[in-house]
Amino acid sequence: MIAPSILSADFARLAEALDAIRGADWVHVDVMDAHFVPNLTLGLPVVESLLKATDIPMDCHLMIEDPDRWAVGYAEAGAHNVTVHVEAAKDPVRLARDLRAAGAKAGLSIKPGTPIEPYIELLEEYDTLLVMSVEPGFGGQSFIADVLDKARTVRDLVDTGHLNLVVEIDGGINADTVEQAAEAGVDCFVAGSAVYGADDPARAIEGLRAQAASAHERFTA
């Protein structure tokens, strides 16, 4: 799956940016509060407007303090997948259950420097694991390949039936890195500038999808 990130789109033309990615599987929306990360983007009112402008499932990545308080509102608004950071959630089990009860998939994100092992059991409560392959907060950063070990660990647990979730990756995904991520067992690829920096975003999505599918076939062969 390819999930273009509108963080790389023109914020003055977001409706047009959504139209440009109609072939996408999800649209990735980065919500930042200038506290958990040193950047401020958009919040629930803008997400509610975006939901009216597209039928592409919305993947909301909340890089915010106190997601236990705010995350469920995004699920209630109609977001398909709502992802919170394990480093910020106070009660991640309850939060996952509340998100699901509100009608969304529950996603858990983990920073590059946070180990995955302490949270394996917690992932049983979640539908998505978002592995950050850059430090959260800004687009356009370089891909951190070391995080792929986390994806491999979780992919093994999914393949052996111990977990049931989508492995997603966010940060520095482009034509040069998507195959590495696919070979590590990633299912969903967040791409910002690789899509919105292209002359034809829809064609860029198809190109990334084809590369990922080819790499996945090699991985599973």
pLDDT value of position 15? 93
Q: Tens of pLDDT along 50-92?
A: 999 999 999 999 999 999 999 999 999 999 999 999 999 999 9
Is the separation of the CB atoms in 202 and 21 below 8 Å?
yes
Q: Which of 30, 33, 59, 187 is catalytic?
A: 30
d(CA 154, CA 165): 9
**Average per-residue pLDDT in the chain?**
94
User: What does the domain layout of the chain look like in residue ranges?
Assistant: 2-220
pLDDT value of position 164? 96
Output the CA–CA distances (angstroms, integers) from residue 142 to 25, 87, 221, in the order listed: 24, 22, 29
| CATH number for the segment(s) 2-220 | 3.20.20.70
Answer yes or no: 30 catalytic.
Answer: yes
Answer yes or no: 25 catalytic.
Answer: no
pLDDT value of position 137? 76
pLDDT value of position 140? 65
Q: Which of 33, 59, 127, 170 is catalytic?
A: 170
pLDDT value of position 221? 61
pLDDT value of position 139? 63
Extended strands (E) in 86-160: 105-110, 128-132
- The pLDDT profile of the chain, 221 residues, written as one tens digit per residue, is 999 999 999 999 999 999 999 899 999 999 999 899 988 899 999 999 999 999 999 999 999 999 999 999 999 999 999 999 999 999 999 999 999 999 999 999 999 999 999 999 999 999 999 999 998 876 667 899 999 999 999 999 999 999 999 999 999 999 999 999 999 999 999 999 999 999 999 999 999 999 999 988 776 66
pTM of this structure: 0.94
In degrees, rounded to 5, the angle at the alpha carbon of residue 161 between the alpha carbons of residues 156 and 166 is 65
d(CA 185, CA 157): 11
**Percent of the chain with pLDDT strictly greater than 90:** 88
Residues contacting 217, CB < 8 A, separation 6+: none
